[in-house]
Amino acid sequence: MSFVGKVWKVLVGIKDGLVLLFMLLFFVGLFALLSARPNPGQVREGALLIELDGTVVEEKSVINPIATLLSGSAPVGEYRARDVVRALDAAAADDRIKAVVIDMTTFLGGGQVHLKDIGEAMDRLRTAKKPVLTYAMGYADDHMLLAAHASEVWLDPQGLAVISGPGGNQLYYAGLLEKLNVNARVYRVGTFKSAVEPFSRTSMSDEARENIGGLYGALWEEWQANVAKARPKLALARVTRDPVAWIESSGGDMAQAAVSAGLVDKLGDRTQFGMRVAELAGKDPWSELPGSYASSEFDAFLAGLGNDRPGKAIGVVTIAGEIVDGEAGPGTAGGRRITDLLDEALDDDLAALVVRVDSPGGSATASEEIRRAIQRHRDRKIPVAVSFANVAASGGYWVAMSSDRIFAEPDTITGSIGVFAVIPTFEQAAAELGVNADGFSTTPLSGQPDLIGGFTPAIDSLLQTTISGTYTDFLTLVAKGRGMSVGQVDGIAQGRVWDGGTARQIGLVDEFGGLDAALAWAAGKAGAKDGDWHAVFLGEQDQNYDSLIRQIVTSQTERAPAVHNGDLFAMTAARSEHLGARVARDAERLLGTRGVQAFCAECPASSAPPATANRHRTGVLALLTWFGGN
């Protein structure tokens, strides 16, 4: 018995030790979780520091804590455009804020509409006599769309600024698929629906080139007009028409070339930049480090703004990212998740509904599921407005058809009314390997679709008929929603993509304006006076562990050497990594399990890069690696 008693005491001791250990871990985790939350009490007199270390988005994506920790790579930072605008507008009226600093050293860009909104908020800040300063190792198109609105634009002497304009090459796989004996069966309706061309052609079709050329041309004109108005001294033509001569005129010194062309105002390292900010906002009383200045962090400042909720409630549902079936998101528009949000809000006392769309579309069934849920709100006889952000194309346009009014910006990409599907079959590859398919069929559809034996003419025809039927449904919805005939819609559809300005002219949108304009219109239609309403963003909640996960992973990844070389050679070498991501994305689109797609693959990407992207890349090495492949 004495031996059994000793064993028992050991087991009890182990149990007690484990309990104490888990309790300790629990309280340590709880402390870390609480301390990771932004603290409004940290706001002090000085500069508001906004470090845009990532992308500007419509809706933050969900961080999977387990996958993120196992990957060992910190997720790319995401900043909601409306949060940045709100902070800038609040800073204009806050006596504690003497200046605003926007650090874009690791900025990876955002959609043109979002960046224009932030730029306009920077203008309002300067009108309130608050200086706005930007700093970066490198400036590209998206950086300059913001920096053009700054009081002072600073560049590291080892950095560079490059304006490339929209455009670039796409990969075409028809030749490779032919060599591999893979039959990419394409089903589509829409002369301009070029999403399937990479799998059926070796080059861009004339129709696709005409369509994308018109779209990019319009976006480029809007970009130039915005930047030229905000920064008239910028010699944009000199920078874009003959970049080689421009750089050579400064002896190959790209930083000096940026100054000479008016892209930036001053060259200086972080210490020199910090000393300049200290002149405007005051020195940091708690730090003796060179270049330190009094500042408040963006998250803490934003947390202290609070939410004013007067009067009637205007619901806002966000449809951001690719539209997919199921519960995916936020950051991806899961049809079931968004439908549930809308249906749950039916019991709320909403005076109106605004649908905010920033999506290139996706699943046709999920798009229709969301549209029906929006219609259920409309059936309650409340006003329903739709606000388009950067992209509202294909399925992103489909969901807007149950609405009373559609708002868009001139920079918005919309339309792409068309559908497609791609199914690979491997009968030729199997035969070459000595694998043959044979059997007995009672009907033309027995055993179909057969990916190895191939498709019968019956299943082939049935699949195309399904696509044609979905396209007809799409046309009918648009015709009903926009007060047109089906023939009129077909004339501007066929998968063609439009800029917001043209879309308004041809009747696809009603009015220019952003989310605020849509909210004001909906509130007015609901009978709410100015200032007597507030927006309720359905399903919006910040994950408590988000910043904690970022802190943990960042502390791990910072042990690895950071890549700080931002020259053109490093940029060129780094493109190979992004090329691999593009190939993987295209392969998934060909081989993945997907239904009928109302998706605009040709639309310029406005979402964040893959979440595993290295957060340490700085300057052009990061910014052009990401932008160059989209």
Tokens encoding 366? 């999920």
CA dist., res. 29 & res. 35, Å (int): 10
Decide: residue 269, CB within 10 A, 0-12 exposed, 13-18 middle, 19+ buried.
Answer: middle
- Kindly report the three-state secondary structure assignment for every residue of 30-42: HHHHHHHCCCHHH
Mark 47-75 as b/e (b = at least 16 C-beta within 10 Å). bbbbbbbbbbbbbbbebeeeebeeeebbb
Alpha helices for 268-346 (secondary structure H): 270-281, 298-303, 335-344
Q: Is the peptide bond before 131 cis (omega within 30 degrees of 0)?
A: no
607 tagged catalytic: no
Of 295, 359, 394, 547, the active-site residue reads 394
Of 295, 298, 255, 261, nearest to 620 by C-alpha is 255
Task: Count each helix (H run) and each strand (E run) in the chain, helices first.
Answer: 24, 23
394 tagged catalytic: yes
Of 533, 510, 563, 535, nearest to 404 by C-alpha is 510
Handedness of CA 217, 221, 222, 224 (dihedral sign): positive
Of 193, 194, 296, 403, the active-site residue reads 193
β-bridge mates for residue 49, sequence order? 101, 297
Q: What's the DSSP call for residue 380?
A: T
Tokens 């002369």 sit on residue: 191
**Total length of the chain:** 630
CA dist., res. 629 & res. 332, Å (int): 21
CA separation, residue 471 to residues 373, 394, 437, 597 (Å): 20, 11, 34, 10
Alpha helices for 382-528 (secondary structure H): 395-398, 427-432, 457-482, 486-492, 500-505, 515-525
- Beta strand 361-363 with 597-599: parallel, antiparallel or unpaired? antiparallel
Active-site residue set: 193, 394
